[in-house]
Chain A
Amino acid sequence: MRRVAVIGTGITEFGELWDSSFRKLGIGAGLAAVEDAKISAEQIDAMYVGNMSAGRFIRQEHVGALIADYSGLVKDHVPATRVEAAGASGGLALRQGFLAVASGLHDIVVVGGAEKMTDVSDTESSMIQSSAADQEWETELGATFAGLHALIATRHMHEHGTTREQLADVAVKNHKHGSLNPKAQFRREINRDVVLRSPIVASPLRMFDCAPSSDGAAAVVLCPLENAEKYAEVPVEIVGSGQASDSLALHNRKDICTMSATRVASDRAFAMAGLSQDDVDVAEVHDNFTISEVLAVEDLGFFAKGEGGKATEDGRTSLEGDVAINTSGGLKARGDPIGATGVAQAVEIVTQLRGTAEKRQVKDADVGLAQNVGGTGATAVVHLFRRA
């Protein structure tokens, strides 16, 4: 297996981008990544595009070919593959790109992720997101995507004493980090009261516990590590990649306060990298809801089960904490264009490890982690990165 490096990154602004189409967003991120890697189109061997539901958001399927076409890559008939695993689509596209380069099949691969969510109403968007859960045995019985995460939150508070305030602290921290990220959808700090007074979505979760609907795209360029210095001043190696599946429906899991898929994907990534949690300086985790970040920091092994809320409250996950979690603002503040999210996480980690994260830079960041989740934890993808 060959070692793989990230040699270019690109990301669009995230938000309600009324004047940007899906294809404009995808190409914007892709061109920026290719320019950053200083490669030419002729060098690209393959492309992977993470996208959850273009068919329902913009009534367009076959978006791998679409992005290849509008990127000018069909002149050379570059193979383009769409990758779907609901919220984990982007992370999984990255893993496909990683596998393609590691295997020796391809040398230069572009991995993109894109979603255009705001061409449909909020209710429609919420229903599309709910289709990541079990449509026949959860959603159609009334369980929304937020509702399922509320079931997790209620149970986590019951079993581990996690407080409503600690959940709010996740949003407060991520908005603070978002205020330092010029590409974030929300760049305004909030306090606990803002979260606790926002309208209830599914009790105990309120509006400010939920990541927004967003438009946006992100891309990275991969190549074998041995060639990376030709393209990048500071190449970043992907030192570990892990993926795991779990039951589609939340009710089929014995312990709903743990995302076993995250645990297993993380174990696999750490084993591949030969690293441990103590080595990680910065991590992007899948905070589609505040409770999800609490579970993530526990299941990734940064804190013991039940300690995630307390660790957040104590500032141990902030920029200056033990491990800086979601320096980009996370899904909550940077935004969550579903298929783009996993790739955007990789862009943030590479930016941190290159030392170019400016106001939100984690000092001497050497090792970073990205955790991307599909559904209520039926798919998890974890990647570990290290400055080469």
Chain B
Amino acid sequence: MATAPRFWRENPSRYNLVGFKCNNCGNHYFPPRIICPLCRRKSVGKIEPVRLKGTGTIFSFTEVHEGMDEQNMQRPYIVAMVELDEGARITGQVIDCDARDLSIGTEVRATLRKLSEEGSSGVIHYGYKFIPLCNGPAASENE
């Protein structure tokens, strides 16, 4: 079982989709990095943390039926690679929909949900998941 800090230190990105923009090449990335993988040393001092909007389209997706303890309660669940409007790609679950209603290109938006919990009394991990835009904006969602 992992210790709490391992998850806690990634919370800004997990909760608020904080990525970064490289002000040398202008590209957006997620999650944050120390240097831009393309500009390398030229990007030092030019990395700007950016909160990504969380809207984008499905680049590819799958319905997972086997293989993970932490998600076992939710199986099957959908995992997608989402291309965010800023250009960065991100991997996460797609919820509140049926896999049959999804296709490559489906518009989605990010929302905050429970990712997993460690046993019945352990730490609960929260993070982003995605909802198809056609489900409509849910006013009760805390984004």
Contact = CB atoms under 8 A, between A and B. Distances in A.
Interface in A329-357: none
Contact of A146 (B29, B66, B125, B127): B66
Contacts of A199: 65-66
A202 B92 contact: no
A327 interface: no
A247 B91 CA distance: 14
A9 to B, nearest CB: 33
Contact of B67 (A130, A137, A204, A249): A130
Given A136-B10, A247-B37, A126 B62 contact: no
A146 B62 CA distance: 10
A345 B72 CA distance: 35
B15 interface: no
Interface size class of A (residues with CB under 8 A): 35 or more
Interface in A122-148: 123-124, 126-127, 130, 136-148
Contacts of B70: 140
For B29, B80, B99, B128, the residue with the greatest tally of chain A CB atoms inside 10 Å of its CB is B80
A371 interface: no
Given A142-B92, A249-B91, A251-B91, A256 B60 contact: yes
Contacts of A201: 64-67
B60 A151 contact: yes
Given A158-B104, A251-B89, A142 B66 contact: no
Interface string B66-109: 11111110001101110000000111110000010000100000
Given A151-B62, A154-B61, A251-B90, A144 B68 contact: yes
Interface in B1-42: 10, 29-31, 37
Nearest to B31: A137
Nearest to A152: B60
A317 to B, nearest CB: 25
A251 B93 CA distance: 14
B62 A203 contact: yes
B67 A202 contact: yes
Contacts of A203: 62-63, 65, 99
Interface in A191-205: 199-205
Contacts of B93: 141-142
A252 interface: yes
A158 B68 contact: no
Tell me if B's interface is mostly helix, strand, loop or mixed.
Answer: strand
Contacts of A150: 62, 64
Contact of B79 (A142, A200, A247): A142
Nearest to B33: A252
Contacts of A151: 60-62, 79-81, 91
A256 B81 contact: yes
A148 to B, nearest CB: 8
For B29, B30, B77, B89, the residue with the greatest tally of chain A CB atoms inside 10 Å of its CB is B89
A152 B76 CA distance: 19
B68 A250 contact: no
For A124, A136, A139, A247, the residue with the greatest tally of chain B CB atoms inside 10 Å of its CB is A136
A316 interface: no
Contacts of B92: 141-142
A155 interface: yes
Nearest to B103: A158
Given A151-B61, A202-B64, A251-B90, A140 B116 contact: yes
B34 to A, nearest CB: 15
Interface in A24-42: none
Contact of B68 (A130, A154, A200): A130
9 contacts: A123-B69, A126-B66, A141-B79, A142-B115, A143-B91, A144-B64, A144-B68, A150-B64, A201-B66
Interface of B: 10, 29-31, 37, 59-72, 76-77, 79-81, 89-93, 99, 104, 115-116, 125, 127-128
Given A126-B66, A137-B30, A202-B67, 9 more contacts: A140-B116, A141-B79, A141-B128, A154-B62, A158-B104, A202-B66, A202-B79, A203-B62, A205-B62
A-B pairs with lowest CB-CB distance, top 4 = A150-B62, A144-B67, A251-B89, A126-B67
